[in-house]
Structure 1
């Protein structure tokens, strides 16, 4: 009971709102996911040249020097579920590691009852005064408005936040909507695509096909408004194939 009260006070004192529409205005954003497609080309210098580099969940734990040539060395913003599970969660929130990597914002995108509960439980567990962030409630409402019973993954929320922010340019790599394996050292126990698909179905929270559909819809909409969206080869191929199949139906 004491931890609950202290955790709540600490959460109120240290939680801020991260507004992508303000923070990303006129900026160039790189969003790096956990799929193996991020390692198709040595794009490290290209990625590090963006105004903001976003990564997701466990990414800081597997961002080692031997990978810099492919996926860059910077992380400015980490989107994290605040579920510190090793299986199906975001992994341990390690502030010393984040400080070492220069991470400026640790954002919990899930600004709903479940997300706020996860946020509170984090502060109850650690009683740590580090600043954390939530997406604006209205912005997160837009993120999930077409999901029905499904919960957007943290990766999708990171993508949506960048693409829909009205920024100048977004580069996306390492996102294949679970159609290819994870990159090495991220979730090696779930690198098999079928095994990971079965795991997601067993969880019953996420719908990768719906996320792909919503990403394409938002990307097309924002490109018409002037945001340049650059996708890696794997994602570009997945999007092209999805559109082709959709037109055939």
Structure 2
């Protein structure tokens, strides 16, 4: 999975090495098919592994972590289709799909036992060279709409997710941040996901935590890192990515600054 779509609605991914980089924010609904290799995904409640031949759906406006693993002596390959809000609104006007209810699910939903959908995703591999060129946008749109029609025929309950155009409402800031502090996203994303403008988010945050968001995030992540290293016998390299740090050397530097010793000395 790529957590940030390209300018084209159909994207092909290829990795020779394990990849855990990414914004970890899913901005648009997506279906992805693993051509080769494997991937592990997790959100705050669920962790799941996907293998070659698996297909899954990702919800927009969600935080998730992922780790892609190429096969032995091979490469990780996948095909993904993104459904932005404008596309879904146009589709909705044409076909009249309407949600029946609001549903809560994990950030990602396995689409198992749907061989027709898998065959469709496999067929997109033949278009890879065409779909890297923007002049084929009309064909891309046709294939994107075809995917939607097929998806809704096979999994009609997904209409409750695809055509829910509501934006995140104002939620409990303290609970949300204590659940999601380890995701490496910027403050603008946190503000949006809690139903606030950036300025309101900062103001409300300081009222709740008596601290600035940036300072609190660093120290909350370091506190968890210290616990995992000391009590769970983890190493710095085991935990720094999972706790939202992009760079091991930076993690070690701020850890030593906070606790007076390097992670390896705890």
The structure in which a higher percent of residues are strand is 2
Q: Under a length normalisation based on structure 2, what TM-score does the superposition of the two structures give?
A: 0.28
Q: Which has the larger radius of gyration?
A: 2
- The structure with higher relative contact order (CA 8 Å, sep 6+) is 1
Q: Under a length normalisation based on structure 1, what TM-score does the superposition of the two structures give?
A: 0.29
